[in-house]
A and B are shown apart, each in its own frame.
Chain A
């Protein structure tokens, strides 16, 4: 196809979508907003999916808080009369500056339209007075580890939450195709858990995401205690998605303190992975161990400077060699990061981040990233985000297939 013609067609399609996206009334909002009758801004800080103190309270209560919606009520029954859902989509354009013309790098070096990068139907909310749920139905599905069949059950969790004094005590069975062990329960926006973050280019912004500590397949059980001052999450999990013959689950511990200081909503936490998950390979009859070792500390500040909302997020983490997080046999992986988002206009933010990492390779192992970006809220539930990451360090002394720069333009919507 003529490239000029293709360019015009892409531009026309994008303009058409944008016209549709911003000209319709935003009556339709995501599942939780439908349930609570509250605006997206009630729970989210600056841009979704990052959450604020009230969002943390809603999550801590296991998604059970309900607002205007009518309920079906009876003995041991109290759920909304409708099943609340929302469609989440990410349309992305990503461009890297490498020389490769084949494979994944070849696509982004050319300039890759990722339509959709993500498209999922999220269904969730209150299932009972003490029971909530969140289900992510993916479009492409995930191969079940046992049968190999594809499932649309991407991520799912079902908190059973009871309030004791001012503290919510929860038991949360969970499974996720990409959210990591922290998917069971997480409240900070630092990157400790993949689905709860500020910027799109997560590996260039957040140490835990660079190290793989807050992402990947996971299933297990979370035991949580949470109140307005913080939370403790002790989980037993395995880096699997779907049915498998389990011999032993690995522990994951997360502790965070979330006090307020002088108008600043803060968070300070620790993630700790240890031990191993053991499964039985039912083909060979042998045990297979998944060693899960690593740790991270993280912190966040959410407040305002000069009347402009500001969020600052920082983390440091390490993953020992020869684990599910670090396949290197020679060295530990380490990374630290800091990024901040400043609301310069009511609908616009600027994003600045820096990450410095050791890849765990024997040589040329310094991997740094400087990220500049911003978001523009086209509607309460439609966000345009632009990130540009510039990589440096000894890793780039060798030519990288995807080069040393990456630009991501994303339209992130939740209807």
Chain B
């Protein structure tokens, strides 16, 4: 006769052993590893800065139990920002949860720091389109303001735009706050 106690005594340790050795969850359960190339990018989740790459994020930070409805567009996403690089928004997928987020930032001359890559998805990126039907909340726009202002100053310094134009653009950006 199959004894349930005997079965459980044998199966549970077996399963736990197998799982802990092979399970495709991250090396640190409950956390998501975030790295970037180059390193040292600011990491934002749910509209707030949580550190710089490389770092381990708690699941709860990316998938909070409660959040204001206007922040739903940020739910489940990690944004990386670094001066001189395009900001990058990544959805935390099952693969990311298992292997971590590894983001190669587009930096240098080619990079346009003004635009979030969420609006111009790269081939290896997942845009924020899971909630694309919803209005873009103010908090999302605020997230890129510093970068955009810096970009305006760069354009002014290079003489691409006049001081008058720079002032108008700054006012327009700040008007979004």
Query: Which positions in A face B, CB cutoff 8 Å?
Result: 3, 6-7, 10-11, 14-15, 18-19, 22-27, 29, 33, 36-42, 45, 52-54, 57, 61, 64-68, 93, 95, 110-111, 163, 166, 228, 260, 263-265, 302-304, 309, 345-347, 376-381, 384, 386, 407, 409
Contact = CB atoms under 8 A, between A and B. Distances in A.
Given A7-B2, A41-B63, A52-B63, A29 B19 contact: no
A39 B93 contact: yes
B11 A39 contact: no
Given A29-B94, A380-B98, A42 B22 contact: no
B8 A386 contact: yes
B131 A65 contact: yes
Interface string B16-46: 1011001111000111000000000000000
B133 interface: yes
Contact of B98 (A15, A25, A66, A228): A25
A260 B66 contact: yes
Residue picked from A27, A39, A377, most chain B C-beta under 10 Å: A39
Contacts of B177: none
Per CB-CB distance, the 7 closest pairs between chain A and chain B, nearest first, are: A346-B30, A346-B29, A260-B66, A67-B130, A23-B22, A68-B126, A95-B4
Contacts of B75: 42, 54
Q: Which of B12, B31, B93 is most buried by chain A, counting CB atoms within 10 A of its CB?
A: B93
B92 interface: yes
A147 B30 CA distance: 51
B65 A264 contact: yes
Contacts of A377: 25
B110 interface: no
Nearest to A263: B66
A7 B5 CA distance: 13
Contact of A39 (B10, B72, B97): B97
A129 to B, nearest CB: 8
Contacts, number: 156
Contact of B72 (A26, A57, A95): A57
B11 A11 contact: yes
Contacts of A3: 1-2
A23 B18 CA distance: 8
- B contacts with A: majority SS: helix
B30 A14 contact: no
Interface in B44-97: 59-60, 63, 65-67, 69, 72, 75-76, 91-97
Interface string B88-115: 0001111111100000000000000000
Contacts of B31: 346
A23 B17 CA distance: 12
Contacts of B18: 15, 18-19, 22-23, 378
Contacts of B7: 7, 10-11, 93, 111, 409
Given A25-B24, A65-B133, A380-B94, 18 more contacts: A3-B1, A18-B19, A26-B95, A33-B94, A38-B91, A61-B133, A65-B131, A67-B126, A68-B129, A264-B66, A303-B65, A304-B60, A309-B60, A347-B25, A378-B19, A380-B98, A386-B8, A409-B7
B91 A407 contact: no
Contacts of B98: 25-26, 380
A405 to B, nearest CB: 10
Interface string B112-147: 000000000000001101111100000000000000
A360 B31 CA distance: 49
Given A38-B130, A67-B126, A347 B15 contact: no
B65 A302 contact: yes
Nearest to B15: A18
Nearest to B26: A346
Nearest to A264: B66
Contact of B16 (A6, A39, A376): A376
15 contacts: A3-B2, A11-B11, A14-B11, A18-B14, A39-B93, A41-B59, A42-B75, A61-B133, A67-B127, A166-B69, A228-B69, A263-B66, A376-B19, A380-B94, A384-B15
A260 B65 CA distance: 9
A1 to B, nearest CB: 12
A17 B131 CA distance: 37
A233 to B, nearest CB: 20
Most buried by B among A7, A19, A26, A37: A37
